[in-house]
Chains A and B, each alone.
Chain A
Amino acid sequence: KAGVTQTPRYLIKTRGQQVTLSCSPISGHRSVSWYQQTPGQGLQFLFEYFSETQRNKGNFPGRFSGRQFSNSRSEMNVSTLELGDSALYLCASSLAVWDRAHEQYFGPGTRLTVT
């Protein structure tokens, strides 16, 4: 099976712009989670989607949003970029449906640099 894929791998944006990142989960996985990784804050949970519905959200401002399509592919969007948004954004997919958590499989990430 192909793994989780993320596009683009690298992005450079200017403050105030917006950006859209894309994630394709492992075939058959319906849950997609997004994380932000920075040297100072480590890995932090952004949100999770399952069957096109956001089921959980982390403590990030409303500038961070996402969506999931009927084929389970997911996008996240960051509007009005700030310097502090520079990070590695990781997408993970899982079989998780109910109750006990399943392991998540991560993509290679998108490295976003805001100048």
Chain B
Amino acid sequence: AQSVTQLDSHVSVSEGTPVLLRCNYSSSYSPSLFWYVQHPNKGLQLLLKYTSAATLVKGINGFEAEFKKSETSFHLTKPSAHMSDAAEYFCVVSGSNAGGTSYGKLTFGQGTILTVHP
């Protein structure tokens, strides 16, 4: 079984300041981890993914995330927030397909709404 906990439902930052969105995961298998972003009335866009290669993963729009197995965390960061970053962010886990229990199934966290103030 796998699960994701996003530690903050809302995060508010000023434009130009760093962004930190926190995520802890639980997985029976070696997980694949993703961050997706959803702008209002839009579909989900993939920001970045971790699939057991480098633990520091770089994504689009200046975002990156670090996989820490000892802490079961996969926090999303960005050095400098932009107004266009305001959206809802989802941390997502997908387990191994071993045993066929995870085919095509992504497990989503509850989401973090990021607000960026001018």
Binding site for B on A (CB under 8 A): 4, 31-33, 35, 42-45, 47-50, 55-56, 58, 90, 92, 94, 96, 98-101, 103-109
Contacts and interface: CB of A to CB of B under 8 A. Distances in A.
Interface string B94-118: 1111101111111111110000000
Nearest to B97: A99
A105 B100 CA distance: 21
B43 A109 contact: yes
Contacts of B32: 100-101
A42 B96 contact: no
A19 B106 CA distance: 24
Report, nearest first, the 5 A-B pairs whose CB atoms are least far apart: A48-B104, A101-B94, A55-B103, A43-B108, A106-B44
Interface of B: 32, 34, 36, 42-46, 49, 51-52, 90, 94-98, 100-111
B104 A55 contact: yes
A97 to B, nearest CB: 9
A49 B104 CA distance: 8
B43 A98 contact: no
A103 B111 contact: no
Contacts of B49: 103
Chain B's interface: helix, strand, loop or mixed, by majority? loop
Contacts of B110: 42
B68 to A, nearest CB: 20
A101 B97 contact: yes
A45 B94 CA distance: 12
A35 B90 CA distance: 14
Contact of B104 (A42, A94, A100, A107): A94
B43 A48 contact: no
A9 to B, nearest CB: 10
A107 B44 CA distance: 7
19 contacts: A33-B104, A44-B108, A45-B105, A45-B106, A45-B107, A48-B104, A56-B101, A96-B97, A96-B103, A96-B104, A100-B32, A100-B52, A100-B97, A101-B102, A103-B46, A104-B46, A105-B46, A107-B43, A109-B43
